[in-house]
Every structure is written in structure tokens, then in C-alpha cells.
Amino acid sequence: MASTLDISVVMVGMNTRDYVRNAIAAVEESDWGRYSHEIIYVDNNSHDDSVEVIRNQFPQVRIIANSANRNFCPAANQGSGAASGRFLLHLNNDTLVQPDAIVQMAEFLEQAPDAGVVGCRLFNPDGTDQWSARRFPSWYNAFLGRRSPLGRTFPNAQIVRDYLFKDKITGRTPFPVDWTGTPCMLVRREVFFKLGGFPGDYYYWHEAAFCHRLLREGWRTFIVPTAKVVHFEGKGGGARPYAVQRWHIIDFSRGAYRFHCERHSLHRLNPRRWLAALGLGAHAGIQLLQNWLSSLTEKKPWRALS
């Protein structure tokens, strides 16, 4: 039976009470136009009072309180399985959607029959771009990526501009991309479940893997640049002491390696696998060293060099 509900907003959180509270408030204050909606919050065993605060302040929100941290993909799939909407909006719990962002994305998804995923334009809290539109990476994007030292030193290099669609995301016309992130990703329900949801064996790079699998099934990913969302990047998973930061750095490179092999269908003995492993291992080693040196002098949140 076809769903009569339009959009299910699925959020996942852990120990981020204030962020998720503000994120839900922004969703509820949005201009929904003709679209009906529901909000599902999946809590990954928070040790603060996130669940109690959401339950008391937003009684309309459906809460799934896990007794353990299931990580993002399994929890997002869990929330999606409980959803009723014909569209699924995967929204990070550290975001603030602008009033008309969701409606713009939904209207485009309805009008573009080949669109399986629609993303938005993400901003940092200071108003700068997070560059939410991406191409599938080539080897040189390890050095000329969104947050790599060379990428930040030469942000207007053509390689960087092409990788991040910098010349298109500042415009007003929707455009196709290779992939976008789950801070704000609107997906057709039937497409999401046909692909088996987000790949539960990925942490980092799950969005790229999902959008690549979507592309193989004949669907495309688009960005609506006039749909704007503020993203407090790195705040959605709680505190990150050095041991946690180390895990994130290693898993980021591990995920990049796995996606590279999946995308290019590389056999186990293919030399390109070995080269990718060496390069990404060196990338992780450099970042671990940089992060360790930084931890000796100052306290600052870690961000993946993507």
C-alpha cells in the first residue's frame, strides 16, 4: 500500500542533547508547504539526558532508544525501517535547516524522475561553505581534497574546484553530482530499500558507497544549491578524546580504501589495491602524527581530511 505520509526525517544521535534539540526545533519550524512529515530520532545509548529532553520537549517525535551504540549506518537504517514517508530525509543531529530547504529538495525530487538522492548546500556556522557536492575521488584528491593541507592552501586550484563543484554550488540551478553527504540527504523510499539502506559495514565513506550503488541502478544524485543548511561539523557524535580521534583517522582511510576497491571492482591481487593501501596508509600516518603533535599544544576537534 502506498504511503500517505510525504517525508520522514530520520536523525541519529549520541550525547548531543543541545544540538539535537536545536536540530529538531529547526525542522519543526520549517515551512512544510503541502508536505506532511514525521520525525524519528534514533539514540545510540546516550549517557546524557538527550532522550528525556526530546521526549519532554517534542512529544510528537518518535524515539528509538538503543541500549548500545550501533554506529550511524545501522541506526539510520533502523530509523528508516520505522519510517512511513515516501521520502526519507537523513539529517544530522548537528544541523539547522533553513525554513524552505526541505520543501525545495522535495519539490525537485518529485520533478526529476531520475533523481534518487537530493542534497543541499551546507554551511559552516560562520557562513563559509562546507562544499557538500562531490565527485568520486581520484588519487590526487588525497592531497588536493576538501580539508587536505594542499587543498586548503590552494582552494581555487582547478582540481579542487572541479572535485567540489565550486563553480556550480554557488549558483541557483540544481545540478548532478557523484555523491553528497548524510548531514542532509533526501532519498526516495523505494530506492533506499532496494539498495539495502546505508552499507552497515562502512562508517566513513558510506555516503559515497551508497551513491555509487545508486548510480549503478540507474539513479542519479543532485544538489539543490538554494536549499541551505547549517552544519556544526563534528559535533554530532559527542566528545572525541585522542583515542576516539585515532579510531576516526584510521577508519576514514580504511573506508576510503574499501570504497576505492568497490568502485573500481579491484580483485584482491590487483596491484592497484596495494598502491591504494600504501597511499592511504601513508595519509593516515601523516594525519595521526599531525593530530598527535597538535594534541601536545592545544585542544581542538579533529576533522577528516576529505
Residue ranges of domains in the chain: 7-129+170-231, 242-297
Q: Helix 271-297 and helix 242-263: axis angle, to 10°? A: 160
* Closest to 19 measured CA to CA, from 293, 239, 195: 239
Matching residue, cell 596495494: 274
What gap in Å lies between CA 73 and CA 229, rounded to an integer?
21
- CB-based contacts of 187, cutoff 8 Å, min separation 6: 87, 88, 89, 90, 116, 117
pTM of the model: 0.86
User: Looking at 72-81, 257-266, 270-279, which range is the least confident one?
Assistant: 270-279
pLDDT at 285: 73
| Higher-scoring residue by pLDDT: 15, 281 | 15
Fold of 7-129+170-231: Spore Coat Polysaccharide Biosynthesis Protein SpsA; Chain A (3.90.550)
Q: CA separation (Å) from 24 to 44, 105, 128, 202, 217?
A: 17, 18, 23, 26, 33
Q: Tell how strand 87-91 and strand 62-66 pair up.
A: unpaired
CA 290 to chain centre: 25
User: Looking at 64-68, 81-85, 153-157, which range is the least confident one?
Assistant: 153-157
194-212: average pLDDT: 93
User: How does the average pLDDT of the chain come out, rounded?
Assistant: 88
- Answer whether residue 152 shows pLDDT above 80: no
* Closest to 19 measured CA to CA, from 246, 275, 236: 236
Q: What residues does 175 pair with on adjacent strands?
A: 223
- Which stretches within the chain are classed as H helix? 17-28, 50-57, 72-81, 101-111, 149-153, 158-163, 166-169, 189-194, 206-216, 242-263, 271-297
pLDDT at 213: 96
CA 253 to chain centre: 16
